């Protein structure tokens, strides 16, 4: 006989308040060698157990709420089905979830608890699974402070009584539900041990979500898609990103281009249109503003609720895989903005997950962002570190993403970020460094570089924190690259000044070379510079209409010849006048209807292709051997001249930039070798909308020493322009 169920325990089960349903439900051996099976099926008039041989055993209804029991002559449990009959005559036959053993190993749970389950997304979340030939879905969620967790969805009428989960170690709850297949929507109904809290939560490890405003997770098979990018992935694993060209086109998928009716293009449509554009324009990479699932369009994805799911706004997970695959097949890398710094307070997601501040700090001085109204992750909690590390690997491995640009790193590493005295808590040594966040960043970067060879990790870090892009083993944060925010701010401030005053701010251009090789930099002119009232990039340029176009061409030329990888936000390449908005597509009519915009786009295109064809512009981006000033001191004329070298010292480019609207004739610059120099690029060409002042395609050196070089060129430097010379091979 089985011990009698305590009435309180049974009541707790019947009213969805029992945290150990397997203690009561499912098969249990009796003292006299028989098998007792108990089941809960609310609203059922009757319940029948069906053995594998087809024999039927009616169960006894012990409680009107739908609690049934039957005792059989059997020595050990076996696979059986239950048939429920309802008052309207309908029936439902299903395998009993409480007849299946735990599926997650104790070892995985141990690794999760210590923060070392790198691929935690393979263990937690909803996974299509087959057990003894029976197909279903295994659900697992971390909720250590819950007293009961149930899986709810359309399949059980969102009734928390139907599928309460089994609690395992490390605070993980697990349940295998036979018959649940792809496409089912679900949430976790959580009743906390604290404060009487109860909520239905989407799956933190969910792979796919309903389209907003709906918030349920969707059971998804990630293994079905057949990738076609083996060649790309093999080359990626063998690549050396620091010495390769990187011209990044930063894109918000919902507003790059739209259909005629104003609706979004889907991932597959974007694959064909966006990739064709990037190939034509010469970009090497697309960087996506976060496509991780998010509730509010206006957050652009930076307030993430689904750290393992591409947003359903543009299609399914398979559709997004197709997008990445198509990019790779056409030679375009994909970088994804990733946001481990903070998450929104939406009640259906991570916040206050199990009735406690599980993913975030409880103390608002550490756990809330004062500027963004969001929560900050608790990086000191092993399971949270596991969650975030696993998310990074998920995108790099499952979606073949080539790199992650980590948003808001400064807000992670400083405890007093955007806080006044008394609004933050010092670390154990009294400092303002967030030691737990620093440890996490080093860990995730080490893991990403080890597990996804050839991928890049890029930091958006706006302070002077040392060694952001240096390995963790020498004390760095371990990123591959860091955005050069100082270069961006100084350069844009300089370009906004009237040219007549630029001579007094000459150092705003030269200063970047004092630190250009202290990190591995990306020179970014990102979306952040064209939103929130900052105006468009072309509107930042000083001067009249013609000068604005000339200045923007010059700015791009300067960016592409300065050491560092390149990033430009969409629309800048053709000079969009309006500030960017996620609510509309780019102003493509400018390219169609206005010649100057089309010519600026042509300059951007040719500059990209030129950059990729010249090893001098990328091979030594992180080394002083790749750069040499000719004359950094000509403040009176606001002219700068320098040389970029490839690894082969005989392969170099001479770059001369004039930041005034006054042409400079007979302007002499020193060069390292004698011979003929071809004018290989001139932003003032009439083809790009310029005044067509130049050097007739070629200049000859003279044995006149200048700027510590034995030879020199006497050249014409066009107004508000960059000219680039290259020694001819026959010289």
Q: Could you give the residue numbers annotated as active site?
A: 407, 460
Is the CB of residue 301 less than 8 Å from the CB of residue 309? no
Comparing C-alpha atoms, which of 712, 727, 721 is closest to residue 664?
A: 721
Comparing C-alpha atoms, which of 534, 533, 537, 613 is closest to residue 569?
A: 537
Using CB atoms within 10 Å of the CB of residue 102, give its burial: 0 to 12 exposed, 13 to 18 middle, 19+ buried. Answer: middle
Whole-angstrom distance, CA of residue 690 vs CA of residue 656? 16
What phi, psi does 74 have (nearest 5°)? -150, 140
Comparing C-alpha atoms, which of 556, 561, 567, 565 is closest to residue 601?
A: 556
Whole-angstrom distance, CA of residue 705 vs CA of residue 708? 7
Tokens linked to 288: 């996506």
Whole-angstrom distance, CA of residue 361 vs CA of residue 354? 14
Residues β-bridged to residue 343:
375
Tokens linked to 328: 């790779």
Whole-angstrom distance, CA of residue 240 vs CA of residue 676? 33
Listed in sequence order, the residues at least 6 apart from 537 whose beta carbon sits closer than 8 Å to its beta carbon are 525, 529, 530, 552, 555, 569, 572, 575, 576
Whole-angstrom distance, CA of residue 457 vs CA of residue 483? 11
Comparing C-alpha atoms, which of 81, 84, 27, 93 is closest to residue 49?
A: 81
DSSP string, 598-665: HHHHHHHHHHHHHHHH-GGGTTTTTSGGGEEEEEEEETTTTEEEEEEE-SSTT-EEEEEEE-SSS-EE
Whole-angstrom distance, CA of residue 691 vs CA of residue 288? 36
Whole-angstrom distance, CA of residue 342 vs CA of residue 248? 25
The SS3 assignment for 522 reads strand
Angle 79-132-202 from CA coordinates, rounded to 5°: 95
Count of all residues that appear for the chain in the document: 731
The SS3 assignment for 337 reads strand
Comparing C-alpha atoms, which of 406, 407, 403, 405 is closest to residue 453?
A: 403
The SS3 assignment for 239 reads coil
| Strands ordered across the beta sheet of 26-29 | 26-29, 35-40, 67-72, 60-63
């Amino acid at each position: 006989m089985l011990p009698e169920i305590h009435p309180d325990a049974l009541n707790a089960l019947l009213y969805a308040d029992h945290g150990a349903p397997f203690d009561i439900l499912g098969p249990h051996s009796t003292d006299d060698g028989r098998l007792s099976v108990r089941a809960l099926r609310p609203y059922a008039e009757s319940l029948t157990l069906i053995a594998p041989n087809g024999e039927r055993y009616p169960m006894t209804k012990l409680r009107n709420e739908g609690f049934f029991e039957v005792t059989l002559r059997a020595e050990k449990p076996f696979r059986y089905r239950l048939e429920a009959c309802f008052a309207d005559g309908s029936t439902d036959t299903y395998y009993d979830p409480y007849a299946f053993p735990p599926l997650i190993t104790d070892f995985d749970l141990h690794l999760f608890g210590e923060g070392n389950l790198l691929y935690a997304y393979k263990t937690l979340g909803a996974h299509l699974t087959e057990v003894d030939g029976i197909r279903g879905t295994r659900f697992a969620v971390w909720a250590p402070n819950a007293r009961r967790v149930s899986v709810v969805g359309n399949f059980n009428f969102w009734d928390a009584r139907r599928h309460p989960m089994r609690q395992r170690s490390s605070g993980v709850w697990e349940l295998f539900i036979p018959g649940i297949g792809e496409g089912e929507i679900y949430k976790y109904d959580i009743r906390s041990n604290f404060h009487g809290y109860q909520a239905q939560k989407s799956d933190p490890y969910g792979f796919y979500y309903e389209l907003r405003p709906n918030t349920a997770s969707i059971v998804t098979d990630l293994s079905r898609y057949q990738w076609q990018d083996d060649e790309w992935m093999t080359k990626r694993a063998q690549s050396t990103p620091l010495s390769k060209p990187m011209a990044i086109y930063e894109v918000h998928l919902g507003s790059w281009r739209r259909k005629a009716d104003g609706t979004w293009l889907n991932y597959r449509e974007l694959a064909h249109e966006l990739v064709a554009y990037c190939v034509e324009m010469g970009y090497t990479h697309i960087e996506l503003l976060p496509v991780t699932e998010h509730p509010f369009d206006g957050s652009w994805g930076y307030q993430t609720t689904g750290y393992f799911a591409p947003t359903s706004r543009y299609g399914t997970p398979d559709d997004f895989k197709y997008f990445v695959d198509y990019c790779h097949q056409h030679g375009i890398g994909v970088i994804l903005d990733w946001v481990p710094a903070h998450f929104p307070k939406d009640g259906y997601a991570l916040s206050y997950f199990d009735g406690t501040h599980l993913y975030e700090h409880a103390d608002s001085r550490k756990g809330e962002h004062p500027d963004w109204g969001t929560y900050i992750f608790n990086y000191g909690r092993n399971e949270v570190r596991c969650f975030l590390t696993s998310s990074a690997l998920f995108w790099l491995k499952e979606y073949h993403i080539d790199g992650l640009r980590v948003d808001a790193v400064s807000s992670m590493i400083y405890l007093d970020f955007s806080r006044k005295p008394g609004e933050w808590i010092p670390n154990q040594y009294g400092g303002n460094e967030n030691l737990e966040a620093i440890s996490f960043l080093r860990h995730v970067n080490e893991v990403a570089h080890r597990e996804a060879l050839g991928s890049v990790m890029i930091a958006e870090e706006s302070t002077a924190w040392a060694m952001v892009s240096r390995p963790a083993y020498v004390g760095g944060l371990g990123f591959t690259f860091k955005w050069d925010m100082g270069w961006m701010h100084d350069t844009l401030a300089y370009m906004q000044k009237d040219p007549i005053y630029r001579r007094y701010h000459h150092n705003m251009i030269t200063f970047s070379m004092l630190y250009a090789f202290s990190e591995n930099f990306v020179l970014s002119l990102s979306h952040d510079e064209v939103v929130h009232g900052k105006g468009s990039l072309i509107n930042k340029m000083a001067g009249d209409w013609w000068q604005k176009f000339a200045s923007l061409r010059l700015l791009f030329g300067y960016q592409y010849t300065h050491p560092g990888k390149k990033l430009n936000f969409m629309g800048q390449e053709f000079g969009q006048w309006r500030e960017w908005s996620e609510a509309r597509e780019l102003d493509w009519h400018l390219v169609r209807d206005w010649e100057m915009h089309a010519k600026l786009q042509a300059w951007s295109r040719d500059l990209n292709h030129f950059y990729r064809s010249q090893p001098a512009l990328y091979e030594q981006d992180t080394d002083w051997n790749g750069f040499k000033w000719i004359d950094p001191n000509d403040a009176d004329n606001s002219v700068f001249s320098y040389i970029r070298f490839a690894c082969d010292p005989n392969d170099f480019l001479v770059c001369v930039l004039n930041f005034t609207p006054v042409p400079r004739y007979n302007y002499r610059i020193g060069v390292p070798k004698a011979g003929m120099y071809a004018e290989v690029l001139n932003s003032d060409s009439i083809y790009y909308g310029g005044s067509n002042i130049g050097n007739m395609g070629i200049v000859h050196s003279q044995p006149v020493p200048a700027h510590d070089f034995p030879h020199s060129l006497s050249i014409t430097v066009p107004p508000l322009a960059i000219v680039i010379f290259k020694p001819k091979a026959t010289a």
